[in-house]
Structures are given as C-alpha cells and as structure tokens.
Amino acid sequence: VDEVAVGPSKTKYPDGNLAPALDMCQEAWKNRKKVACSFNSNTVSSIYTKLTEEEELAMKDKLILERYNWIEAKPYCPANCKCLGNNCSTMSRQFHTGRQKYIANVRDLNIPPRPMWTHALARDYNEMDKIMEVLPDEVMQVRHYQGHWYQNNNLLNTMEEKEAPLSGVLMDQVRSSIMKTKDRRKIFTQKLLYTKAKDSANLHGVEWIKTVERDAQYHRKVTP
C-alpha cells in the first residue's frame, strides 16, 4: 500500500467506485475541452500511530486498509500544498504543489498527443488551468500512505487529524476480490493472500513505516 484512489459513496454506483469521476471528466471534456482531471492527495497520517494492545486486538479479521481511518485535517505546506500567505490560511493544492494525481483522456483520437508530466500534463500552470479540471475530494481523491514530513519535523503530536474511514461496502469488495483470486492453486492462493493481509493489519501495518508513540488524542477505539 502506498496510494489508494477512492471515489464517492451514496451514488448509483457501488461505494468507492471511480465511475462518477470519469463521468465528470467526460462532461468537462465535452463542455469545456478539458483533456485531463486532477485530484488531491490526502496524507493518511495515522499510519505512524503505534496502536495500543486494545487497538491491536480490535484489528482481528480486519484488512490493513481498515487500520488507518484518520487523515490530515488540512495539508502541510510545502509538502503537499503551496502557502500563499497569512500563515498558509490561503494555499494552493494544484498539480505539483499539492502532489495531485491526474487521469487523462487518451481514448479520443481528436486530442493531439503530448508528453505527460508528473502531477499535471505540464508545468505551465496557465496552460493547465485551461485544459485540466480539478475534481473535488468528494468525487475522487488519493489517500497517500506516507507523511515523512510530519515525522521529520516532529509534528505527529501537534497536527490535526480528521476521521475518514474507507467505506465498509468497499472493504467487503476487497475481501471478496481476494477470496475470488483464481489460479492453479486457488485455495492456497486465497488463504495466502488473505492471511498476509490480516497479518499485516494485525502485526505491523505498512511495512516501510516505523510507528511511534503518539498522544492520547490520536488513539481511538476500533470497533471489533
């Protein structure tokens, strides 16, 4: 796990489905000639929280994605935003400054081909404002399972977090997908993948993150 793209809930599509974002991008191309859509990267800071024994026990039979239900309440500049003044009360999250990701319309052959850059089609923001649509978080966002800037700057006990659990319906789909894995060793593969997912959730979390002791406000009871 490093990044997970998440769509909205309570639409005509299953929770977390990215179809509404694709619909919006298609509408942006049709009506405003936007050839790509970008969306915010939100840091899942709770990956750094060393869980208590009670919290660890509550993780039984849950997936690793269900371990991390809290994200940054607002972005931290300059890691994933650009401060525009007034102690960052005004900021920009567009493109490179916000570590945004994007999807581009590559199906319509009437759109001239061009090289693709990271976080935006190009670094010319004036041009990007004209040809890229920025999607709201409630339509599509990326959950970024990183945040070393919080740890390196000793901010893990002063930052503000907000609750943002992934949809239970979506998590059930992940479980179902794992259990439907097919190959010549179907039953073995199912057990291997599911056991590994549970072990990761129960024993350590994201493998490349070293958890730390955090203040009481960053600990919440996890529903068994």
For the segment 5-24, what is each residue's pLDDT rounded down to a tens digit? 999 888 888 888 899 999 99
Torsions phi, psi for 72 (to 5 deg)? -60, 140
**pTM here?**
0.83
Q: Where are the beta strands (DSSP E) in 26-147?
A: 36-39, 41-43, 70-72, 82-85, 90-92, 101-104, 132-134, 141-144
For residue range 102-123, list pLDDT tens digits in order: 999 998 999 999 999 999 999 9
What is the separation, in whole angstroms, between the first and last Cα of the chain?
22
Check whether 60 has a pLDDT greater than 70.
yes
> Across residues 39-51, what is the average pLDDT?
94
For residue range 174-221, list pLDDT tens digits in order: 888 877 766 545 555 556 665 666 566 555 566 678 889 999 999 986
